[in-house]
Structure formats: C-alpha cells, structure tokens
Chain A
Amino acid sequence: MAKYKLKINGKVKEVEADPTTPMLWVLRDTLNMPGTKYGCGIAMCGACTIHLNGMAVRSCQMLVSSIGNQEVTTIEGLSENATHPVQKAWLEHDVAQCGYCQSGQIMSAAALLKNNPNPSDEDIEASMSGNICRCGTYLRIKEAIKTAAKK
C-alpha cells in the first residue's frame, strides 16, 4: 500500500492503495465515486472512460501510481448539475436507455469535442468506437455530439 495525492475534479484527494490498483477501482471503491463504470477491465468497452489532463483514457488501465500530478476528471466532475454542453445535448436527445455506458460515452464525447470542436460523422465514429453501447443508442449519441458541437 502507498499513499497518493490525486487531483480529481479540481480537488486534491488523498488515497491509500496498492500501486497496481487501476484508477477505476480507486474511484469506485476507495473514493466511492461510482459514476465511472466497470465494463470489461481490458479497455475494450469504454465504460470506465475518464479524462487525464483533458484526454480520454480508460481508467481500468491507468494505475494509480502512474497518475502523479495529472488532472483527473470524472463524470461527477464534468460539470455542476449537468450543465456541460455534452450532458445537455444528451438530455436534449434523451440518449440513454439503460444508461450504464453513458458516463463513458459522455466522457469520450467531451474529450473529442475539446480537441475537435466540429467533428465530421467519420471523426465521431472513429473516436467513439471504443465505447460499446449494448442498448444500441449510437445514432442518438452521434446526434447529441453534433448538437453539443454547435454550443
């Protein structure tokens, strides 16, 4: 076990964890921040997507010991009260069915728009293809991203 000071959603959080612990489980178990979801554990589904210095990463592959000073943003920290344009667009298009994958979808979409404010359909498909939606809400996700891009 080791102690880490992590910058999460603009606050410093002190945690004690085994250095090999993925951020996913530090967030979910240690910090009781369950918005970041466990889906596959091997970076194949995207449910656990968070931002590391604004870049979308799979938290199931990010060891707590590798985070250092980097800024971690989770779905809980994306905005206060769903005011981020991506969250607003998700509500406008009523995207969710079961909703389980949507934290990861939203985090991937928010990172995409940060780097590419006006993505084409192909850009969206390419950067969102790592996020599986078992309910099949892909069309609405794409529409929501386009709506968010306009804001």
Chain B
Amino acid sequence: MKNTNNFNRRSFLKSSALAGGGLLLSFNWFTEAKAAEVMILPADWSELTGYIKITPDNVIKILCPNPEFGQNVMTSLPMIIAEELDVDWSEVKVEMGPHDNVKLGPQFTGGSNSVRMYWKPLREAGAAARQMLCQAAAKTWNVPVNEITTKAGVLYHLNGKSAKYGEMASLAASLKVPQGMVLKTPKDFSIVNKSKKNIEGQKVVTGKPLFGIDYHVDGMLIAMIQHPPAFGMKLKSFDASQALKMPGIKDVFSIKLYDEDFVQGGFDTRTFNEMIAVVGNSTWEVMNARKKLKAQWEASGDSKNIVNGRGGKTEVVVPGRLETSSNQMQMMAEYAKMPAKELRKDGDPEAAFKNAATIIERTYNAPFLAHNCMEPMNFFAHVQEDKALVAGPIQAPGWMEPTLASILKLPPEKIEIQMTRMGGGFGRRAYAQYAYEVARISQKMKAPVKLIYSREDDMTYGIYRPMYTATYRAALDANKKLIGFHVIGGGIPESPIHANRFPAGAVDNYLAESWEIPTNITIGAFRAPRSNFNAAAEQSFLDEVAEAMGKDPIELRLEMLKRAKENPVGKNNEYDAERYAAVLELVKEKSGWGKSENGKYNRGVAAYFCHNSYAAHVVDMVTRDGEPYVEQVTSAIDCGIVINPDAAINMVQGAVVDGIGQSFYGGMTFKDGKADHNNFNTYRMIRHNEAPKSIDVHFVQNEIDPTGLGEPPFPPVFGAVANALYKNTGKRHYNQPFMKGDGGEV
C-alpha cells in the first residue's frame, strides 16, 4: 500500500443526459492508460472519480466510489462534491457506486488514501457541475452567466428569477464541461469541515442488510471451506461420505485457489492452495456437515510462488517448516546479530558509537496480529458460463478483478463486482482470496453461493500483521548529547524499518539496517503497516533516551525536530519537522503536560508520522483493581483540513482504543504451524470496561489539503501506552502484548 504524490494521469469530466432527462456528470480518469495496465501499478492510481446525477425532479444523487469499512467515506467523499456543487446536504442521496475503475477510479479503501486522493478531483467535479448549471440557467433566462449565483441547490439571477438545479439539469447535460474551475477557499466551506451524521446511520441502527454476510438472493447456497489445520500443511486426501449424508448438504469437493502456473498479483496472497468446500442449504447445516469430514493433511514442503507485484515478477520460495513461536523468537534474535542490509547511513555512526560515553541499547518485539474484523470473511458469487456476479466486503475491488478474470477465464468486463459495507477491514480485506474461493465454488456448483468463514476459519487463515523486532542504539557523549542513532530491524517475513522517518534527519550520525525471515504464515497490511510496530519501539526508546539524558520526553523530541527543521541531516527525510513538532506542542498544551494537577496519572507521550499525517498522544494511566488501566487520553492530530470533524474524532477515539487493546492484549502465536487461538475466548480483544473514560481529540487547524486519518492516530498509541506503563509499573516493557508479561506468550 504505497502512497504516492505522483499525479501523472490526466482526467477529464464528461457530461451526458440521464435517461428521462437530467444531468449525469462522470469522469474518465485513465485517458492515458488502459485499466488493465493500472491494475498492476497501484502506486500510480492517483486520480479518482465520482458520479453526480441530478434529475429533472431535483433528486441529487452522489455515488461514493470507495468501499466503506467504517472510515465513513460514504459520508465524507460525497460531502466534498456537495460542497463545490453547492447543494443542501440534507437533500443529497448517497449510494455506493458500482465497481468501475474507468469511471470511478481505483476505488481502493486503504492506506488512509480515500479522502487525500479524492479531495481535488471531487471538488473539481462539484464545481464543474455547478458551473454547467449556471450556464444552463443563463441560457434559459438569456442573461450573462456571471449574473447567476447559487445557494443550496437553487440558481438565482440578480433580477429575482430562480430555479432548482433539477430544472436546469437536462440543458446543463448538453453543455461542454468547463475546465480549470476556481475552487472555494476553505473559509467559504459550508459542508466540508462541518460535522455530518453517518449517511448509513439509520440503516445500521435498524439492522438493515448492509454487509456482505447479509447478501441474499433466492436459491442461494451456503458454502464453507475447510483449510489445513496448520501453516505448512496441505491436503493429502479426504473422505466426504459422512458429510454428504448430512441434511441439507449439496456437495463436498476440494477446490484449488490458483492454477499451478498462476502468476500472483501483489495482493493475491496464497495461504493454502487446496481446501475442502462444503456446500448446502444453510449455514448451520454446512457447519454441522463440515464436522463429519475425514481429512488427511500432510506437510506441504517448500513451495514456490511466482509473484508479479511492485518491482516486477519474482519467484518467492515459501519454506515448508511447521513454525513455533518460541523458535521464531529465537530465529529473530539470531538474525538480528547477522550482517543486515543498510537502508540509510548519515555521518559516521561507527565512530559515534566508538567514541560514546554512554550507549543505550534496547530490543523490542511484537507478535503476529489477527485482524479480527467483526464480520468474518465472506463473499457471494454467481458464476455463469459467460459472466459472473460477485458481491461482498472488499477493500480493493480493482485488484481482485484481474485475478478473478484469470481464475474464471472470463474477460474482466464480464465480471460484475458489487461492494457491500464491510464489518471492519483494517487491511485484511485488501486480500480477496475468499472471493476467489467462492467464485471457484459457484462455478463448480453452477449456482449462486455465499461463502462464510466461521470465526475460527477467519482467525486461523493467516494474512496477519507480521512478527517484528528491532534493536535501537543511542550514543551519548560525555555531556549527554545524542551523537549517534542506530536501528536494526527485521521480521517474519518483512522488516518494519522506515529508514527515512524521524529521528533520521535529526541526528548527525545515523544508521538504519534491516533483514527478513521468510515464512509460510501469510501476512498482510494491518492498520498502519510497519508503522504500528515502529511507533511502539522507537517512541519507547526515545522515552528511555530522554530519561538517560535527563530531559523531558517532549522537550527532547522538540529539540530533535528543531534540528531537523533548521539543519536537517541527510536527504529524503519523509516528514515535515514543523508539523511534527506542532502536534507535540498541541498535545503538551491540551494535556496539561507537566502540570501538578496531573501528578495523579502515570503519563506517557508518543508521536508519529505516517500516511502523510501527524499524531501525538498523551496516555494517562492509573492502577485499577491492581491492574494498569488507561483512564484518559489526549490526542493531537494534523491531517490537514478535516472533512467531517465529529466522525474524525470518532475515528481517532477508535484508533486509540484499538491501540490500547492491541498493545495490551493482541497477539497470535503458533505451535507446529497451528494457530494457538481461534476465537475470542482466548484471543483477547479490548472491551468496554477496558476502554478509557475519555479521549480528548484536537486537530491542528490549517488549510492544508487533507491527508490520511484512518491509520495515523493508531501507531503512536502503542508508544504512549508503553511509556505510561513504565511510569505505572516502574518497569520498561519491551515485548508486546504488554499484559502477558515480558516475553508475552512467546
């Protein structure tokens, strides 16, 4: 999920008449590239698209291009169009758009990119449509267009004439789309930066069928898959005779996810390639029949996957060993001592450490994490001879389309993908293997089928947040000045290190190194990938360095950021030191940092930059019933212009709760390749009574174009919790999850 600022594709707006009259404003963003080409170049997906439909009877409909997984894009993205279109928000109808990468752009929900990437194109769309309506009114009334004004969906002429948008929509549709629209300045916003309720709130609280798991068509069959019981195992043989005798069962068979020679796209993760499918009339019947399967599994041995991701086609060797967490920890400790890949070097770090009066060295570890979306993975498919309909929860419909086309041997234009609301995503639903599985099953059954994972299937299928480790070293001279900084990090199977982020740029002598250990445990993006570990490790380490230097932890960071701003070390520093410092200043002020009345709290602070935004938290811990408890949190965020402030606060509060939960309790471990947890009885999730009593969220007020928000507040929670925990327990915690004691479970 690489972010990019490269806007290298030009788009054009296109107007056409709606059937029955009215204006349809659409886009074509891929004028220089075929959709298929863009599929393998997600980094270049930079400009997106939307639809505006205005009917003669004044229905104003805005389609949301990006799938909704709780980040509230179905409200915030249409708000951006509505702002420039100048309509009454309460009259806008919002619908989830169809999957159409040409007209609606990449439609990718992830990387905290939705608002950031849609901001400009959606504003231009709204402004262009408004201008066309003004031109239509000018023509109709035979007056100059500059005498037309709009307010809340109504066109006015200075002589007193007025018309609703719908009345002019058909004529507007026949006009040329204006280019180079002047957009509103933020001070004129009347919808953006004003809190609007979740557009689907009413449906949520009345239990309407919004989610993929609720998808229903008459005659639909239910399927479940039985995957191998451990990573590194594969299907040897199975006996379905008892399962087939169970009531309501239609068929039991094995399916292959990919053909042998399949070239995987970057997001075609392959955990198990062969599984048993059980298909029947209802979920309960299929669950019961599945228990009657008699399957033999065997070690899979090493395997080779051909992956065509970013950076071209590569052959990936997946080791076949059955992994156990204690061995993984040991292996990571061994790798950490071996020569690693140098990612960045400034100055002479070797000399700095050689000449240091004091060296602080600490190692941090974190386990695999299961996403545990509340809605288990599921998908619907109806595959026919010449076409297919698939529907369900998916973050990246554009990435799954070419794979589906390849699997089903259908042209992409014959595959209709519908995106349902997702019961959480957190990165997990960027990987669509469950949709491929149900497509295979529907194709075989020649029937509409909904595949449902049980919670146990979901939790043990893989695609976890990787296991990470990092060793940080700081060199202090005799005056306790920081003269050198070294980080060496690695993981199973990827390294977490972002070499060009803070404190790179703030220390004269700096070295970042990395290594990786392959595994058969599949991994995927998990809310702020890599950052969610780095912020824990680096921000805990800086706390300890500040202590050793005899400095306040906020003051140390501010001094370092001042250096990075005024006289940055090296090149390619990813962050803006001024904006970074500003969130620390804000959180310091709002939390009353250093004030005596807060002496009752064990306070920890952390800040981090990722996904183009800045976040800082102060976590206030107390002891309750003998246990550390986060009672309140103060958060400061700079994500540029905030589209929907109340929803943005909700998002940040959620990220804080999530971060406390994951750092305290989260972790997936393994024994001989088998996941140690398969449900919420042992995989602990944060609950009501463990959430803070208050989370006070503050945004830096500026007029910078919006940047990410779904992910940035999450990583620094880990660091702030760790630092508060030190104050609470008197002991530094280096291994997550914190509440299972040092070393966690592993």
A-side interface residues toward B, CB under 8 Å?
1, 17-18, 20-22, 25, 28-30, 32-42, 44-45, 47, 74-76, 78-79, 81-82, 87, 90-91, 94-103, 106, 121, 124-126, 128-142
Contacts and interface: CB of A to CB of B under 8 A. Distances in A.
B169 to A, nearest CB: 31
B373 A134 contact: yes
B283 A138 contact: no
A34 B198 contact: no
Interface in B482-519: none
Nearest to A25: B284
B691 A138 contact: yes
A125 B693 CA distance: 10
Contacts of A139: 653, 657, 691-695
Nearest to A77: B207
Contacts of B421: 98-99
Interface of B: 69-72, 195, 197-198, 200-202, 204-211, 213-214, 216, 222, 247, 282-285, 288, 372-376, 421-426, 452, 454-455, 646-647, 650-651, 653-658, 661, 679-681, 685-689, 691-695
Nearest to B691: A138
A78 to B, nearest CB: 8
A98 B207 contact: no
A103 B203 CA distance: 10
7 contacts: A29-B222, A41-B679, A42-B455, A82-B206, A101-B423, A102-B205, A129-B687
B374 A136 contact: no
Given A42-B680, A45-B680, A137 B688 contact: no
Contact of B653 (A20, A39, A136): A136
B585 to A, nearest CB: 25
Q: Is the interface of A mostly helix, strand, loop or mixed?
A: loop
Contacts of A41: 454-455, 679
B712 to A, nearest CB: 15
A105 to B, nearest CB: 9
Contacts of A95: 650
Contact of B688 (A36, A100, A125): A125
Contact of A132 (B216, B422, B685): B685
B297 to A, nearest CB: 23
Contact of B284 (A22, A44, A75): A22
A18 B280 CA distance: 14
B372 A134 contact: yes
Nearest to A30: B282
B210 A99 contact: yes
A135 B206 contact: no
B424 A134 contact: yes
Given A100-B424, A129-B687, A142-B688, A42 B71 contact: no
B679 A91 contact: no
A103 B207 contact: yes
A79 B692 CA distance: 31
B689 A126 contact: yes
B380 to A, nearest CB: 13
Given A135-B424, A136-B654, A142-B688, A21 B206 contact: no
A56 B667 CA distance: 30
